[in-house]
A and B are shown apart, each in its own frame.
Chain A
Amino acid sequence: MLRNVIETRGLCKSFDRKQALHQMDLCIPAGGVHALIGSNGAGKSTLFRILLGFLTADSGDCLLLGQDSRQLTPELRGRVGYVNEEHTLPDWLQVQRLKAMQQQLYPQWNDNVYRQVVGNFDVDPTQRVGSLSRGERAGVNLAMALAQSPELLILDEPTLGLDVVARQAFLEAILFCTQSNTTVVYCSHQMDEVERLAESLIILERGEVKVNCSLDEFSGRVQQWMVPAESRELVLQKVPQLLSSRVIEDHLWMYVLDAPPAFASQLKLLGIAEATGASVSLPDAVRAFMTRHHAGQE
């Protein structure tokens, strides 16, 4: 039984002088839905291209379903589904022709899954792919990826540009048509989707893995605290857990990471007597975490 669907060790890749992946160590265990997020340029696309064998790393190891990404066999490629926001499909073919061709290519093809997903999107099978709406096109692409019964399904911002109805159909298809032995890696900036779909969260920053834990564990690490606005300088200098802060009228609202249980006493020792803390939602926790990263770049 395969333990990790994706495994990289010390993976490095540079373009000219810009380092895209920096000693990246990443393990994604088999089973479940894993959200992978990172700001633009965090190294997500480079990682996928190396994983799928389209690009060679400068150094380090990279395993896809346990096989070295530099020597992927066609058989192994058939066990991995990849869907990105472009939904690249041949425009000139009828939907039913395209499906018939795909069905022949994949021995594990599951026609029930195909019909169920396509049914969610109301696609006319005699239509040419080129005349499908953006949502229908995404639906056909997802239906084909799911019907291949992949062991690993990589979805790279697949709902980008979809309307709310198509987006909902897409999410439901992922949740309820995915075979039980499929591991899903889901990249999205839509935190509501991530919260509904995923069990674990991976955050990439500047080519490194910064977070890899369950959703709840991560939101539990971030808290919001409110202190008097005049303590701003003190907080900026003396609170190492600070992620981001802003002054609203008389108060400084700040997000902190991994604050100790006695954080209020820690603030009191600094002379900040009036402080209250609260837990935060997952979207707020992620935003606060990524804001720190942006600030750190300057």
Chain B
Amino acid sequence: MAATLQLQIKVGDPRPIFRQIVDGIGLAIVSGELQPGDQLPSVRTLGMQLSINPNTVARAYAELATKGLVDSRQGLGLFVGQRKQMLNRGERNKRLQSAVQRCVNEVMHLHFSDEEVLKAMESQLAALHGTQKKGLG
């Protein structure tokens, strides 16, 4: 049976809908909410659940497969893959830099001190590790 996914799509988000799905499922995998071997809902089911075009879901699934986060089994559907890092160090670093850059752009005009920003970042990471442990245990 396919896993149930608690995804929320925000229309009017700067991220296109397919990107929100990729991010949402990626996060569910990292946080342990989805375990290796879990089956993802079909393209049509997730499309209906989110009231979006199924082709958009298909695009998101294709990207997750390219990233190596999910494996497709012929005729059976998509399954969460074993956790492995597909990207090389250079690419990972590039993505880290661009994500941090976006974050800095977002917060720079909010007039927080650097310490406050770093602290907020640390507490988010701590929360993530917390759910990860729970998910695995």
A positions within 8 Å CB-CB of B: 32-33, 168, 171-172, 175-176, 191-192, 195-199, 215-216, 219, 226, 251, 276-284
B positions within 8 Å CB-CB of A: 9, 11-19, 44, 47-48, 51-56, 102, 105-106, 108-109
CB neighbours (8 Å) of A284 from chain B are 12
- C-alpha spacing A154/B95, complex, angstroms: 41
The answer to whether A219 and B16 touch (CB under 8 A), given A226-B109, A276-B109, is: yes
The answer to whether A281 and B14 touch (CB under 8 A), given A226-B109, A276-B108, A276-B109, is: yes
Once the chains bind, are B108 and A172 in contact (CB under 8 Å)? Answer: no
Chain A to chain B: the 3 pairs with minimum beta-carbon distance, closest first: A192-B11, A216-B16, A279-B14
* Residue from B16, B17, B102, B108 whose CB has the most chain A CB atoms within 10 Å: B16
Once the chains bind, are A283 and B12 in contact (CB under 8 Å)? Answer: yes
Give which listed residue, A175, A251, A282, contacts B54 with CB less than 8 A.
Answer: A175
Once the chains bind, are B48 and A176 in contact (CB under 8 Å)? Answer: yes
- C-alpha spacing A8/B18, complex, angstroms: 31
Give which listed residue, A168, A199, A226, A280, contacts B55 with CB less than 8 A.
Answer: A199
Give which listed residue, A196, A219, A276, contacts B52 with CB less than 8 A.
Answer: A196
- Among residues of B, the one whose C-beta sits closest to the C-beta of A197 is B53
Once the chains bind, are B53 and A172 in contact (CB under 8 Å)? Answer: no
Number of residue pairs A-B, CB distance < 8 angstroms:
63
- Among residues of A, the one whose C-beta sits closest to the C-beta of B11 is A192
- C-alpha spacing A281/B19, complex, angstroms: 12
CB neighbours (8 Å) of B48 from chain A are 172, 175-176
* Residue from B9, B17, B106 whose CB has the most chain A CB atoms within 10 Å: B17
- Among residues of B, the one whose C-beta sits closest to the C-beta of A215 is B16
The answer to whether A278 and B105 touch (CB under 8 A), given A175-B53, A199-B53, is: yes
- C-alpha spacing A215/B53, complex, angstroms: 12
Once the chains bind, are A195 and B17 in contact (CB under 8 Å)? Answer: yes
Closest Cβ of chain B: how far from A275's Cβ, in Å?
10
- C-alpha spacing A216/B63, complex, angstroms: 14
Once the chains bind, are B11 and A196 in contact (CB under 8 Å)? Answer: yes
Closest Cβ of chain A: how far from B112's Cβ, in Å?
15
- Among residues of B, the one whose C-beta sits closest to the C-beta of A280 is B14
Once the chains bind, are A176 and B52 in contact (CB under 8 Å)? Answer: no
Closest Cβ of chain A: how far from B66's Cβ, in Å?
16
Closest Cβ of chain B: how far from A152's Cβ, in Å?
17
Once the chains bind, are B55 and A276 in contact (CB under 8 Å)? Answer: no
- C-alpha spacing A195/B13, complex, angstroms: 10
- Among residues of B, the one whose C-beta sits closest to the C-beta of A198 is B53
A197-B52, A278-B105 given. 11 additional CB < 8 A pairs? A172-B51, A175-B48, A176-B54, A192-B11, A219-B16, A276-B105, A276-B108, A278-B14, A278-B102, A281-B12, A282-B16
CB neighbours (8 Å) of B106 from chain A are 278
CB neighbours (8 Å) of A216 from chain B are 16, 18-19
Once the chains bind, are A32 and B109 in contact (CB under 8 Å)? Answer: no
20 A-B contacts, Cβ less than 8 Å apart?
A172-B51, A175-B51, A176-B48, A191-B11, A191-B12, A192-B11, A196-B9, A196-B52, A199-B56, A216-B16, A219-B16, A276-B105, A278-B14, A278-B102, A279-B14, A279-B15, A280-B14, A282-B12, A283-B11, A284-B12
